[in-house]
Chain A
Amino acid sequence: MNDSTPIRTDRPATGGADGLPLWRGLFNAWHTGTGHHINIQHQAQALDEARLAFLIGLGRDPHERRQAGQVLASRHLRIDFQKELFAGDAASIAGNAIASAAMPQGLLDGTMIRTRDLATTMRFQCSLDLFDHQTGTPVGPVTIPETGAGAELRPIEAPDVIDPTPEMPEVWRAALEPRDCDETGRMNLRGMFNVATRALWGTQLLLGMTLDTFRQDGFGMGVVAMQHTTYRLPGNGDMVVSRSGVTGISRHSMRFRQLIRDAVRQETVATFDYVVAFFDQATGAPRPPLPSLLQASEKIRIG
């Protein structure tokens, strides 16, 4: 990559985060979701571009990789969401490769900074892995030389449930279309998060948490942490199903596991574990879960 020309970036460079500049962009009104903030699938899109930019920065030519029939994705991805983003917010991502005890090939450690106040909105760590675009199966990890230091994000506790249990209702079902996929026809990260976020709404609805509930009670729920594991990348035309269960409840939050499955092959292709925090919409202060939510969640409790 020829990026040696000195460039002037936001002050301080890349918005205060240490690391290599990987992405810079804007979230627009059409990126907002039902909760009126930017839907996490668009943050995932920025993350996807950031990891591609990181590889290009290492001198890996994206066109050569595609010609070799390989797709870049992450078998392991962990995200902390720290601040909301709204329509019109500019942001940037900077990152470094760090050493990892669990991932010998190293992790890309990235931070998204909101330009208007230099607040950290998202912190993520992901492995970089190559997948075969014909089959969607992993080919192997990309070993990345360390470019910085950083502590690993704490894993989200989750039971080792890969196959669905009777307690896990189906909360999403659809066939993948080109808009869900990259140029090779394999599901991209935004597409995967699109399923996850819609399936989360589906799960909330099954637990009685409708938009009316949120409006009437002032109760709020928001994803604050996520862990995503990819086993196989489904492709254009595949039927994808999501099944979901509650894996833990604490004073102001609840944990969920989603299985993303290929409905025809009857296999789990990815999992999402996420932590949803409860808060008061008016003040933003933490709130305990509604009693009706606690009662309903017992029906889909797993692990």
Chain B
Amino acid sequence: MAGPVETFRGVVRSEQCDHFGHMNVQFYDGAMSDGFFHLLTLIGLDPATVESRRLGLAAIGMTLNYRRELRVGDLYKVETGFMDLTPGHIVTGHRMTRLTDGKLALTAWSRGVPLDLELRRKTTLPDDIFSRAADFVCAPADLDLDPEVLAA
């Protein structure tokens, strides 16, 4: 079954909050960054494989839509999936849910490209990684995202 997967679950900590009393935007981004690495592990790009095959990914753009604030003590999760996947280009979607009340906290999507870590240049996903990534392909609607984002 293809589809998004839970990639992050945590509680908002006091050191993540700013003087407005809610989680600062850098930590929303941080949760999705950690979640993305979690998904990479699931498709076979764990740290040892990244090192041995000298293969990484680089984000080239990201859009975040903040829907609800998160305050200290709130439990939240992130689900992640690939909304568009080719060997040379990946569009990743994220949905953050505030589990304290089940409300949608954020949706986001990013564009990325595979990166040759030796040459520091764009490359393509090898077949085995691409094949495993296909297992996490989803539609924007699966993550409460507007289908139009793929046309952007």
- Whether B9 pairs with A2 at a CB distance below 8 angstroms is no
Chain A contacts of B38 at CB under 8 A?
Answer: 24-26, 90, 115
Q: Number of B interface residues at 8 Å Cβ cutoff, please give it.
A: 35
For A1-37 the 0/1 string (1 means CB < 8 A from B) is: 1111101111000000000011111101000000000
- Whether B100 pairs with A24 at a CB distance below 8 angstroms is no
**What's the minimum C-beta distance from A190 to chain B, rounded to whole angstroms?**
9
Bound-complex Cα distance A88 to B75 (A): 23
A181 interfacial by beta-carbon distance below 8 Å: yes
- Whether A1 pairs with B75 at a CB distance below 8 angstroms is yes
Bound-complex Cα distance A183 to B71 (A): 11
Chain A contacts of B74 at CB under 8 A?
Answer: 62
- Whether B6 pairs with A7 at a CB distance below 8 angstroms is yes
B94 interfacial by beta-carbon distance below 8 Å: no
For B38-58 the 0/1 string (1 means CB < 8 A from A) is: 100110001110100000000
Tell me which of A49-57, A133-141, A213-221, A283-291 binds B: A49-57
Chain B contacts of A1 at CB under 8 A?
Answer: 75, 99-102
Chain B contacts of A62 at CB under 8 A?
Answer: 11, 72-75, 100
**What's the minimum C-beta distance from A234 to chain B, rounded to whole angstroms?**
16
Interface of B, secondary structure class, is: mixed
Chain A contacts of B7 at CB under 8 A?
Answer: 24
For window 63-86 of chain A, which residues contact chain B by CB distance below 8 Å? 63, 65-66, 86
A280 interfacial by beta-carbon distance below 8 Å: no
Bound-complex Cα distance A294 to B74 (A): 48
Picked from A2, A25, A86, A188, the residue with its CB within 8 Å of the CB of B8 is A25
Picked from A4, A9, A49, A87, the residue with its CB within 8 Å of the CB of B6 is A9
B127 interfacial by beta-carbon distance below 8 Å: no
Interface size class of A (residues with CB under 8 A): 35 or more
Residue of A nearest to B14 (CB): A183
Bound-complex Cα distance A22 to B38 (A): 16
Chain A contacts of B75 at CB under 8 A?
Answer: 1, 52-53, 56, 62
B28 interfacial by beta-carbon distance below 8 Å: no
B37 interfacial by beta-carbon distance below 8 Å: yes
- Whether B17 pairs with A183 at a CB distance below 8 angstroms is yes
**What's the minimum C-beta distance from B87 to chain A, rounded to whole angstroms?**
23
Bound-complex Cα distance A8 to B42 (A): 12
Residue of B nearest to A185 (CB): B14
Chain B contacts of A105 at CB under 8 A?
Answer: none
Bound-complex Cα distance A48 to B8 (A): 15
Chain A contacts of B48 at CB under 8 A?
Answer: 116
Chain B contacts of A48 at CB under 8 A?
Answer: 11
Bound-complex Cα distance A25 to B38 (A): 7
**Interface of B toward A, CB cutoff 8 Å:** 1, 3-11, 13-15, 17, 34-35, 37-38, 41-42, 46-48, 50, 71-75, 77, 79, 99-102
22 A-B contacts, Cβ less than 8 Å apart? A2-B99, A4-B102, A8-B3, A23-B9, A24-B9, A24-B38, A25-B38, A26-B34, A26-B35, A45-B13, A53-B75, A56-B100, A62-B73, A62-B100, A88-B37, A88-B46, A89-B41, A89-B47, A115-B42, A116-B41, A116-B46, A116-B48
Contacts beyond the supplied A49-B11, A86-B47, A89-B41: 17 A-B pairs with Cβ under 8 Å: A1-B99, A1-B100, A2-B102, A8-B4, A9-B6, A24-B7, A25-B8, A25-B10, A45-B13, A53-B9, A56-B11, A62-B75, A63-B71, A88-B46, A88-B50, A115-B42, A188-B13
**Interface of A toward B, CB cutoff 8 Å:** 1-5, 7-10, 21-26, 28, 45-46, 48-49, 52-53, 56, 61-63, 65-66, 86-90, 92, 115-116, 178-179, 181-183, 188
